[in-house]
Chains A and B, each alone.
Chain A
Amino acid sequence: MDRNQTHRNRRRIYKALHFFGLFLIMEVICIPGLWIVLNSFRPTVEIMAKPPVWNPTFTLDHYRAMFGGAGEGGVPVFLYFRNSLIVSVTSTAIAILIGMGGGYAFARYRFAFKNSYFVGLMLFRAVPGVALSLPLFIVFARVGLIDTHFGLILVYVAMNVPFTIWLTDGFFRQIPKELHEAAEIDGCTRWQAFWRVEFPVARSGVASAAIFAFLTSWNEFALASQLTRSVGSKTMPVGLLDFTAEFTINWGGMCALAVLMILPALILTFIVQKHLIAGLTFGGVKG
């Protein structure tokens, strides 16, 4: 009786400690984000205040200014948003199609130098994107891809394909090959077997790969800042730079734009959350 009691108490304490630890980690992750949201709603004086002001005065000034005319600190939000959307969605769609095809091939087929290809793809991931910015800039300048949607899309597809291959390869590998064999015996062509059976089973995995690809493109700054020039192709992360002048930085406006940038990503992640969890804890496929 006593022993049980102490045992239960100890378990409770461990659990509390566990939650406290998780809470601390979540703080570290969340507070900067929260601070950005708060800053976007408070006057500049408070943003710069030292020590920080915890209960802010609420104002929509930064948003008003951002959507306002160019002279009053406005930026072409809708254009940036449109550019980001076009570039991210298109590059994600292409990267998923190519990456899924590649992942499937790695999972199902045998071909010469398969492992070398795979290692090569992973090594490519290891190269930091910025290191490529100068060569990319030179090449793109020559072929006239600077400051175009197409140029950025190309770069993001190249960035996302290896990761997508790696992720989807893992998902397809976990699907027993008997599934497509059964489908083929049931009357499917190889192509039908993939779309009717294997793709639906791997759907969660593909969805999580798509989210990762989308977020990478949506948030990418380093390369986009080099390869875009005008409002015709600048994405939202690059647009943040509009708030920096020679001697001043408009923190409030920057935070307001950042909030607008975070919002769609957050909403999208929420929508596919179910798939994301299912995809990342894949393996529930029972024959």
Chain B
Amino acid sequence: MTEVTLSNVVKRYGKQQAVHGIDLDIQDGEFLVLVGPSGCGKSTTLRMIAGLEDISDGEISIGNRVVNDLPPRERNISMVFQNYALYPHMTVRENLGFTLQIAKQPEAQITRAVNEAAGILGLDELMDRKPAELSGGQRQRVAMGRAIVRQPDVFLFDEPLSNLDAKLRTQMRVEIKKLHQRVGNTIIYVTHDQVEAMTLADRIVLMRDGHIVQVGTPLELFNTPVNTFAATFIGSPPMNLADGVVSDAGTIVLRDSLTIPVPKSARAHVKPGQKVQLGFRADNLMPVGHAVEEKGELVDLELTVALTEPLGTETLLFADLAGLEVQAKMLNPRPVQPGEKLAFHLMLDKTHVFDAASGVALRG
């Protein structure tokens, strides 16, 4: 059983603080993804778990063992680095077997473990090559193989796919997920790509400026973001945010001529006169009459389309709402001319209200 627990973990570089007291409980066998913008402290957190970075304050335990003062080699973890960090002077075979060789395992056992890992990742043909003779995707595979051979309690990944092209990235993403299903170990995975986070994670930890913003399943983060940062970071395209003021009549005034009722979930949490932001995803703003099942309370809007982005099965529409360019989605696309005025439905139950000053979501 390998739970990983972080309690009040802090990292300071001199006076500057990179990680501000993080608390996390990671379950055995869980696929946890740390996601956030560049410089938010994801790598630092991961490296503290790995033992590559000292912990300034707090406690980290792996499998009920406090590891604060243990060197990396005694934590029984594997790590895959962004630049792969393969040993350039060793062949693929030697790279894979290195950890067992250091552990002084018998030769036969090393060969068996290396061949097994090579089989899993399809490296059999490449065993006698040096890393310099491999493509990016192949190096990535070797790096993963090296991690597997060690049979660690926890796998750590630091942006392992960011040096690959888009197609290969999608492919490797699937392989990582397969690997997790196969070995079932705890995985902590760092990325700044929200798509990777959504597709891979059992649970996502969203970070900003060294703080945890929100922890939850991908759908929790998608459906109930705790603030505007979470709302715009998770999901593509990012959530639309329109500034408005709550009126006495229980509506949000976006513009003199444009008011929208406060959605049910937020009604108990707003005060008249409060400055708010109304958030809604492109998926919940659709042209009327597109044979799409529309749920709950609908708000009629008439918007002018400025730009279209056909993506095949759907078309993104950029339209003007109260001086704000918002994105809407048209499933079952038909051609739309820029400048065309269209009737839209906004699904009110799927909208979010955030306090304009703090950005915090207002809902019950």
Contacts and interface: CB of A to CB of B under 8 A. Distances in A.
A187 B139 contact: no
A192 B104 CA distance: 13
Nearest to A175: B88
A151 B252 CA distance: 89
Contacts of B103: 187
A286 B87 contact: no
A185 B102 contact: no
A201 interface: yes
A287 B84 contact: yes
A9 interface: no
Given A186-B99, A187-B102, A284 B132 contact: yes
Contacts of B72: 181, 184-185
B131 A185 contact: no
A183 B87 contact: yes
20 contacts: A176-B85, A178-B81, A179-B85, A179-B88, A181-B50, A182-B79, A182-B85, A184-B73, A185-B50, A185-B51, A185-B78, A186-B146, A186-B150, A188-B73, A196-B102, A197-B89, A201-B87, A284-B132, A286-B131, A287-B139
Given A178-B85, A179-B88, A187-B102, 5 more contacts: A178-B83, A182-B81, A184-B51, A185-B72, A185-B78
A15 B78 CA distance: 54
A185 B88 contact: no
A287 B71 contact: no
Q: What 7 pairs between A and B have smallest CB-CB spacing?
A: A178-B85, A186-B99, A287-B83, A187-B102, A182-B85, A184-B72, A187-B73
A191 to B, nearest CB: 12
B86 interface: yes
Contacts of A264: none
Nearest to B82: A178
A189 interface: yes
A189 to B, nearest CB: 7
Contacts of B50: 181, 185
A31 interface: no
Interface residues of A, number: 22
Nearest to B100: A187
A179 B78 CA distance: 13
Contacts of A21: none
B139 A192 contact: no
Interface of A: 176, 178-179, 181-189, 192, 196-197, 200-201, 203, 284-287
B52 interface: yes
Interface in B101-115: 102-103
Given A178-B81, A185-B79, A186-B146, A287 B86 contact: yes
A186 B98 contact: yes
B77 interface: yes
Nearest to A179: B85
Interface range on chain B: under 10, 10 to 19, 20 to 34, or 35 or more?
Answer: 20 to 34
Interface string B62-82: 000000000111000111010
Contacts of A179: 85, 87-88
Contacts of A197: 87, 89
A182 B3 CA distance: 22
A183 B50 CA distance: 12
B83 A176 contact: yes
Contacts of B86: 182, 287
Contacts of A287: 81, 83-86, 88, 131, 139
Contacts of A201: 87-89
A178 B83 CA distance: 8
Contacts of B131: 286-287
Contact of B85 (A181, A192, A196, A200): A181
Given A179-B87, A286-B88, A184 B71 contact: yes
Contacts of A178: 81, 83, 85
Nearest to B86: A287
Given A178-B83, A182-B79, A197-B87, A188 B102 contact: yes
A182 B86 CA distance: 8
B321 to A, nearest CB: 47
Contacts of A187: 73, 99, 102-103, 150
A189 B81 contact: no
A201 B130 CA distance: 13
A1 to B, nearest CB: 41
Contacts of A200: 89
B316 to A, nearest CB: 37
A203 to B, nearest CB: 8
Given A182-B81, A184-B52, A285 B88 contact: yes
Nearest to A190: B71
A166 to B, nearest CB: 23
B114 to A, nearest CB: 13
A53 to B, nearest CB: 53
Contacts of A181: 50, 52, 72, 79, 81, 85
A284 B131 CA distance: 11
Which of A178, A197, A203, A285 gathers the greatest number of chain B CB atoms within 10 Å?
Answer: A178
